Amino acid sequence: MRALLQRVSEARVEVDGETIGEIGPGLLVLVCAMQGDTEAQADKLAAKIAKLRVFKDDDGRMNRSVKDIGGSVLVVSQFTLAADTSRGNRPGFSSAAAPVDGEAMYEYFAKQIAAQGLPIAKGQFGADMKVSLLNDGPVTIWMDNEA
């Protein structure tokens, strides 16, 4: 799985003009299931994200996790994280999981984030979503299965 994390003061996702998920301080996690991804990889990624120390402590150092600050996580599917831009000018997405597999992994991953004791909100798999965020920092972290 691939994930792009953004530390946010707030974030929300809309579909057809309706807000379907929103959070206050926490993490916006854009996630993409790749071909061959397993539930074990999703488990590991969710656990790592929950413990990742990217929030400021009292001394202003990034030393606190989203759990430590009592934050929330907005999980949004984004297959374009699988983009291959190595040839030509049009990205290819063939390394992304097939839609049925991608949706299953997205839903599983979101459940695993919640299982870490974190309040979550979600986007809608496959929908044309409008994502709004107030990036805090900005702090943006790229993670792969190997992370």
Residue with tokens 């202003």: 60
Other beta carbons less than 10 A from residue 112's beta carbon: 21
Catalytic, out of 55, 79, 109, 125: 79
Burial 98-110 (b: 16+ CB within 10 A, else e): eeeebebbbbbbb
Catalytic, out of 6, 41, 55, 78: 78
Separation between Cα atoms, residue 28 and residue 135, nearest integer Å: 9
Catalytic, out of 19, 35, 80, 140: 80
Which of 146, 7, 143 lies closest to 81, judged by CA? 143
- 80 catalytic, yes or no? yes
- 140 catalytic, yes or no? no
- 79 catalytic, yes or no? yes
- Enzyme catalytic residues: 78-80
